[in-house]
């Protein structure tokens, strides 16, 4: 009888012990914005707008083979901001947030050099938070907006002052 009670107690306690020693799963939160380069400047300007409904992907590749081993899609909200939850640690992989598509037909050309941004998805790097802020990624307008000459002239003035 005592053996049966101890066996029953062990069966009840074992799942609780396993749950207690298993590490807690806190996902990484990858956050960033998707913009429309209205001036085709190659960077964000005061004329830049942000794209609602743009599709973004977080993609991780093996460091040596560059084979894609993880991929998770997300969409921007009304402010052009996306938030993608990543459950796994990708310590030995190279991860990037990349633009996939834009719902704006006049701003759907991926901006060269600004169409992806690196994101570190490991806890073995000294970053205490699970939030990962990513540089903005974007698309370019088919034709620059009329206000762009004036906007870009402001940048020339700043350049001449130095």
pLDDT at 10 over 60: no
Average pLDDT of span 133-144: 95
Q: Over the stretch 75-125, which tens digit does the pLDDT of each residue have?
A: 999 999 999 999 989 988 999 999 999 999 999 999 999 999 999 999 988
Model confidence at 52: pLDDT above 70: yes
Contact 60, 68 (CB under 8 A): yes
How many CB atoms are closer than 10 A to CB 100? 15
Sign of CA dihedral 150, 151, 154, 156: negative
Token pair of 104 as six digits: 């704006």
Answering whether pTM is above 0.85, one says no
> In the prediction, which pLDDT does 18 show?
52
Q: Give the start-to-end residue ranges of the domains of the chain.
A: 2-161
Average pLDDT of the residues in 5-31: 64
Q: Please tell me the distance from the alpha carbon of residue 159 to that of residue 153, in angstroms, as a whole number.
A: 10
Residue 23 has pLDDT above 70, yes or no: no
In which band, very low, low, confident or very high, does the pLDDT at 31 lie, cut at 50, 70 and 90? Answer: very high
Q: Does the pLDDT at position 9 exceed 90?
A: no
Q: What is the mean pLDDT of residues 124-148?
A: 92
Select from 3.40.630.10, 3.90.228.20, 2.60.40.10, 1.10.10.60 the CATH code of 2-161: 2.60.40.10
């Amino acid at each position: 009888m005592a053996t049966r009670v101890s066996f029953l107690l062990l069966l009840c306690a074992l799942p609780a012990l396993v749950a207690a020693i298993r590490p807690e799963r806190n996902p990484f939160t990858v956050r960033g914005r998707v913009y429309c380069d209205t001036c085709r400047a190659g960077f964000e300007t005061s004329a830049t707008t942000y794209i609602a409904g743009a599709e973004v992907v977080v993609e991780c590749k093996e460091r040596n083979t560059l084979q894609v081993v993880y991929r998770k899609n997300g969409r921007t909200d009304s402010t052009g901001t996306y938030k993608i939850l990543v459950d796994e640690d990708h310590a030995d992989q190279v991860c990037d947030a990349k633009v996939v598509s834009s719902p704006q037909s006049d701003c759907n050309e991926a901006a060269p050099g600004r169409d992806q941004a690196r994101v570190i998805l490991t806890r073995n790097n000294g970053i205490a938070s699970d939030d990962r802020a990513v540089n903005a990624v974007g698309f370019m307008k088919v034709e620059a907006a009329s206000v762009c000459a004036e906007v870009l002239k402001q940048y020339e003035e700043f350049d001449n002052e130095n």
